[in-house]
Amino acid sequence: MIARVWHGWTKPDNADAYETLLRDEIFPGIGAKGVPGYKGIELLRRPLSDGDVEFVTIMWFDSIDAVREFAGEDYETAYVPEAARAVLDRFDAMSAHYEVRERQRL
């Protein structure tokens, strides 16, 4: 299993709009691609002391080949649609990929 981790930051005034965009458009669009080996996505959000709001997405894939199927041969480049870029102040240009060594669920 591979976890694809990415960070984006926005101002508080744009945070709810960005979260809505993710839930209503971007995440369903990713699922609709039907990429074999894609296992879902998680969204984390937190306010920062400097006033910005940080978002983290964690996408789950069966293998690095499934990540390549989703993102292309240059799979480390972040997938950030134009609509998201419009409300983000900054974001990771690259996604980080981790081999999941242990995953426990209750």
pLDDT digit string, tens, across residues 71-106: 999 999 998 999 999 999 999 999 999 999 998 888
What is the 8-class DSSP label of residue 46? E
**Do 2 and 66 meet the contact criterion of CB atoms below 8 Å apart?**
yes
C-alpha distances in angstroms, 81 versus 27, 63, 84, 87, 104? 11, 23, 5, 11, 32
Cα of 53 vs its chain's centroid, Å: 15
pTM over 0.75: yes
- CATH 3.30.70.100, domain 2-99, yes or no: yes
Question: How does DSSP assign 81-105, residue by residue?
Answer: -HHHHTT-SEE-SB-EEEE------
**Which band of pLDDT confidence, cut at 50, 70 and 90, is reported for residue 9?**
very high
